[in-house]
Amino acid sequence: MSENTRNDEVLILSIPNNERINKLGERFSLEFQCKPSFFARVPGRVNIIGEHIDYCGYPVLPMAIEQDILVAVGVITEHKLYLRNANSKYDKVDIDIKSFETIDIKADSNGKPFWYNYVLCGIKGALEHLNKQQYNGIRLYVDGNIPPASGLSSSSALVSAACLAFLHAQDAKLNKTEIASLCARSERYIGTQGGGMDQAIAFLAEKYSAQYITWQPLNATPVALPEDASFVVAHSLAEANKAATNDYNRRVMECRLAAKILAISIGITTEETIITLSQVQKLGNKSLEEMVTLVNKYLPKDLYTKDEVCKILMITGEELNDRYSTPNTKYLTEFKLKQRGLHVYEEALRVENFRKICLQLNTNLSVSNGTNGHTEVKEGNDNTLEILGSLMSASHESLKNLFECSHKNLDILVDMSRELNVHSRLTGAGWGGCIVALCPKDKLTDYIEKLRAEYYVKHCNIDKNEANYYVFATSPNYGARIYQ
């Protein structure tokens, strides 16, 4: 039976007897002179396809991975947070919970928020949900093994683990979709306008299947992946902290502006200031293919100045800032609207095709690339993996050229994989981080071995054993849990 009923609460299991959890429990006891009250675990994720479209309202197709944030939690009566981390690079912090009714995000000299801010975001979200004066404080000992700032959602796992731990310390009951939405809102306090994919999969993931995540209302439908496919994650060795730059928010803003201009151009009158690219499609009653044509027609220029955008929208620069920007994007003066719009609509189309092909896997049908780049499903030879892989390669090209969120190391990994006849794409926000590759099962060992030798050892000059941490096969894992 499927574990994952959307209205279910997060699963509470008894504490498993494994080395990692025992060690974390011991560290907790040594530090705080008492045993943890419970543990919480939230996984990272890899997004198979559907990048930078969640915040435009389009479905995405991620799966949870084995790597996670595990926290040992002690419940206390004072309104305090005692925060420790198993990794000594993350400093210990003791904070008065009352002091962050508004979080003042403190960052290092590179603009990277200190780690504890992510925990504070989760707790702030939980406090807002609880909306009461009396609550317990917590002692939190964190042990994470998701490569940070690498597109595998380490930050969301941390925010979500903190939120879940704090809520459970109050005995608060939330179902999985409610807590996923709460955590998505909470993480925005860090400064990035995320779309909610990471928190959704963190709570709604199931073992053995990826999830097709849709929005408003949030929902997840299991998608069985091809049995003869392996999914491989490979780290480019370039890290990119999303909250340290305005790259991510700039894309969110450009998509909002593109949507508003398209809406006006096709005569959609709405009171709403912000309209997403998917709302434009829906209200305009158009297909995704038609939206691509409309982007080319109504957003023909490669670059729009702020003045031009203001003129089209008939608003002042100040109004544009108030309605569409964030503190770190209000000084922007130029926007790429055509490229972002094209990526979003075409990527949404790729997600639909990918899902459709996966759904047809159990039938006797096979798929091929039809004319105009559309996927045709018909009976014949089985080249399903090649077609799915081509969608992933096309996604990467689009992220690189239209969305401009790749990194030279990611492109090297993708190109190297292509030479080994494996399709891949950057996963997560990009600008560094990981690729996800679709590798036929029978080629898996060879593919990983070759990446180890060619990319990690030869190109990056790192030890072959160390490379194991950076390149690994992964399969759909289960979502957040509490161990008590």
Q: List residues binding ligand ADP (CB under 6 A).
A: 69, 85, 87, 90, 112, 115, 118, 142, 144, 146, 148-156, 158, 241-242, 428
Taking each helix axis from N to C end, the angle separating 288-298 and 277-284, rounded to the nearest 10 degrees, works out to 110
Nearest distance, CB of residue 116 and ligand NG1, angstroms? 17
Give residues 133-152 in contact with ligand NG1 (rule: CB under 6 A).
Answer: 151
Candidates 4, 37, 67, 153: give the one binding ligand NG1 (CB under 6 A): 153
| Residue 148 interacting partner from ligand ADP, ligand NG1, none (CB closer than 5 to 8 Å by kind) | ligand ADP
Residue with tokens 């239209």: 402
Closer by beta carbon to ligand ADP, 155 or else 236: 155
Closer by beta carbon to ligand NG1, 247 or else 454: 247
For residues 95 and 123, the answer to whether their CB atoms sit within 8 Å is no
Closer by beta carbon to ligand ADP, 239 or else 290: 239
The distance between the two most distant Cα atoms of the chain, rounded to a whole number of Å, is: 68
Closer by beta carbon to ligand ADP, 89 or else 378: 89
In terms of DSSP bridges, do strands 38-49 and 481-483 run parallel, antiparallel, or are they unpaired?
antiparallel
| Residue 390 interacting partner from ligand NG1, ligand ADP, none (CB closer than 5 to 8 Å by kind) | none
Closer by beta carbon to ligand ADP, 141 or else 298: 141
Q: Which of 82, 165, 81 is nearest to 126 (CA)?
A: 165
**Contact window for ligand NG1 (CB under 6 A) among 193-201, 261-269, 365-373, 449-457:** 193-201
Q: Which two tokens stand for residue 484?
A: 């008590």
Question: Among all residues, which ones are annotated catalytic?
Answer: 198
For residues 363 and 389, the answer to whether their CB atoms sit within 8 Å is no
| Residue 241 interacting partner from ligand NG1, ligand ADP, none (CB closer than 5 to 8 Å by kind) | ligand ADP
Give residues 198-227 in contact with ligand NG1 (rule: CB under 6 A).
Answer: 198
Three-state secondary structure readout of 143-183? EECCCCCCCCCHHHHHHHHHHHHHHHHCCCCCEHHHHHHHH
The CB density around residue 464, as the number of other CB atoms within 10 Å, is 11
Burial class (CB in 10 A: 0-12, 13-18, 19+), 364: exposed
| Residue 144 interacting partner from ligand NG1, ligand ADP, none (CB closer than 5 to 8 Å by kind) | ligand ADP
| Helix/strand/coil for 280 | helix
| Residue 149 interacting partner from ligand NG1, ligand ADP, none (CB closer than 5 to 8 Å by kind) | ligand ADP
Nearest distance, CB of residue 303 and ligand ADP, angstroms? 27
Nearest distance, CB of residue 396 and ligand ADP, angstroms? 17
Candidates 194, 341, 432, 479: give the one binding ligand NG1 (CB under 6 A): 194
Q: Which of 193, 125, 200, 192 is nearest to 165 (CA)?
A: 125
Q: Which two tokens stand for residue 203?
A: 């709570």
Nearest distance, CB of residue 411 and ligand ADP, angstroms? 18
Candidates 55, 82, 345, 470: give the one binding ligand NG1 (CB under 6 A): 55
Q: Which of 83, 229, 69, 216 is nearest to 152 (CA)?
A: 69
Rounded Cα distance between 455 and 422, Å, is 15
Q: Should residue 244 be labelled a site residue for ligand NG1 when binding is judged by CB under 6 A?
A: no
Q: Should residue 187 be labelled a site residue for ligand NG1 when binding is judged by CB under 6 A?
A: yes
Q: Which two tokens stand for residue 319?
A: 């109004």
| Helix/strand/coil for 230 | strand
For residues 158 and 118, the answer to whether their CB atoms sit within 8 Å is yes
Closer by beta carbon to ligand NG1, 54 or else 68: 54
Residues of this chain that interact with ligand NG1 (CB under 6 A) are 47, 51-52, 54-55, 151, 153, 155-156, 187, 192, 194-195, 197-198, 242, 428-429
